Amino acid sequence: MPIILRLDRVMADRKMSLNELSEKVGVSNVNLSKLKTGKVSAVRFSTLEAICEALNCQPGDILEYKREE
């Protein structure tokens, strides 16, 4: 998939656990874990906004586009 999720890296940079982020964002650990590992095909803008708010980051810090060859 050409979209790479960097949520794990941003969480590590902010020293935030999955449980802490889950509480702040209001999304279950299971769903955040799937997002963190890239096992999702979509993410709601409201969820992305809440994650960016909690981690004090931009969507581009979490999402990366890599062209397939």
Q: What are the residue ranges spanned by the domains of the chain?
A: 3-56
N- to C-terminal Cα distance for the chain? 11
Length of the chain in terms of residues written: 69
| Per-residue pLDDT at 38 | 86
Are 45 and 59 within 8 A, CB to CB?
no
Q: 3-56 domain in CATH 1.10.260.40?
A: yes
Are 8 and 36 within 8 A, CB to CB?
yes
Single pTM value for the model: 0.89
Give the ranges where 1-69 is alpha helix by DSSP (H).
7-14, 18-25, 29-37, 45-55, 59-62
Encode pLDDT of 2-34 as tens digits.
889 999 999 999 999 999 999 999 999 999 999
What gap in Å lies between CA 1 and CA 15, rounded to an integer? Answer: 27
| Per-residue pLDDT at 59 | 96
